[in-house]
Amino acid sequence: MEVRQAEAFLAVAEELHFGRAADRLGMAQPPLSRIIKQLERQLGTTLFHRTTRQVELTAAGQALVKPADELVRASRATRRAVKSALAGEAGRVRLGFAGASVNRTVGELARQVRKERPGLDFEIHSSQFSQPALERILDGSLDLAIGRWDFLPEEVDSRVIAVEEVILALPASHPLAQDAGPVDMVELREEPWVVLPGGFAAALPNRLNTLAMSAGFVPRVAQTAPDSWTLMVLVAAELGCAVTLDSVRDNTSTPGVVFRPILGEHAPLEVRMIWRRMDDNPALHAVLDIAGRLPTGDPGAD
């Protein structure tokens, strides 16, 4: 039984009158009668007792009412689901981010998505650092990612959501921590460094390498921290110095760590939201629209 046949059958079953059923369906009576006769031939039984005065359901017709109604309801639900998906009101969007540096932004975005698109499945994946997150964007296992990248491939599009200043984190016992002024990177050439996970496009580890090379040395990495909170703990434990961000300084409290600006003019780091340029998922573009209306600025602590 096709959906069109089920709709015609239900109209006649509810009206018990071919003329009224035809009007309800917006069609002439003869085509409606042909649809019912065709359905009866397919099922091999009579669905209605017809007389000049009345139309009644047969036992077979009564048995068909429920499955016909379920078929019509399922068809309408399918159409609604497709329509919602095309409008970005349903579907799935997977967002990756690392640490707590963008917690505030991610939290606000998630709240707005739930408010404006309650039927959309918005998945949040934490601990997605810049390089792994970029790889997952490219292989399609993430739809959106938030991070800091020095380089992005051509197939990735992006939007700046915050700008951060690159600064130094020094152990409180370090001689250079006693002076509130900027620190020349040359003075740190013999120091060990603690870093975040790196990669070809990972902006913060790359910035340490750039600053060190400009100062004439290669940084000696003592340990890699899984996140900036751990990074600050390692600095406080005097395992090394670190290049970090003003958002970390402003939103973490780690005894034993002193933050200092870096001598000279240095470009800030941009926090970006990235996605596949050719991704035509309506749900993704609905989330991008919501994200574009969020205020930009300091994303929070890392």
* CATH fold match for the domains 91-151+272-292 and 166-267: yes
In this prediction, residue 101 has a pLDDT band, given cuts at 50, 70 and 90, of low
**Is CATH 1.10.10.60 what the domain over 91-151+272-292 is classified as, yes or no?**
no
Q: How far apart are CA 158 and CA 148, in angstroms?
A: 11
**Is CATH 3.40.50.1980 what the domain over 166-267 is classified as, yes or no?**
no
Q: How far apart are CA 16 and CA 18, in angstroms?
A: 7
Q: How far apart are CA 53 and CA 34, in angstroms?
A: 20
For residues 170 and 177, the answer to whether their CB atoms sit within 8 Å is: yes
Using the predicted structure, report yes or no on whether residue 99 has a pLDDT greater than 70: no
What is the enclosing helix (H) or strand (E) of 27? none
Interval 189-215 mean pLDDT: 88
For residues 199 and 132, the answer to whether their CB atoms sit within 8 Å is: yes
pLDDT averaged over every residue in the chain = 88
Using the predicted structure, report yes or no on whether residue 297 has a pLDDT greater than 60: no
Interval 118-143 mean pLDDT: 89
Neighbours of 292 (CB within 10 A): 11
Using the predicted structure, report yes or no on whether residue 144 has a pLDDT greater than 90: yes
The 10s digit of each residue's pLDDT in 149-179 is 888 999 999 999 888 899 999 999 999 998 8
Query: Exposed e or buried b for every residue in 162-180, given b needs 16+ CB within 10 A?
Result: bbbebbbbbbeebebbeee
State which fold the 3-86 domain adopts.
Arc Repressor Mutant, subunit A (1.10.10)
Residues 6+ apart with CB under 8 A from 167: 243, 244, 245, 246, 249, 259, 260, 261, 262
pTM exceeds cut of 0.85: no
Using the predicted structure, report yes or no on whether residue 300 has a pLDDT greater than 50: no
DSSP category for residue 202:
B
Q: How far apart are CA 112 and CA 288, in angstroms?
A: 11
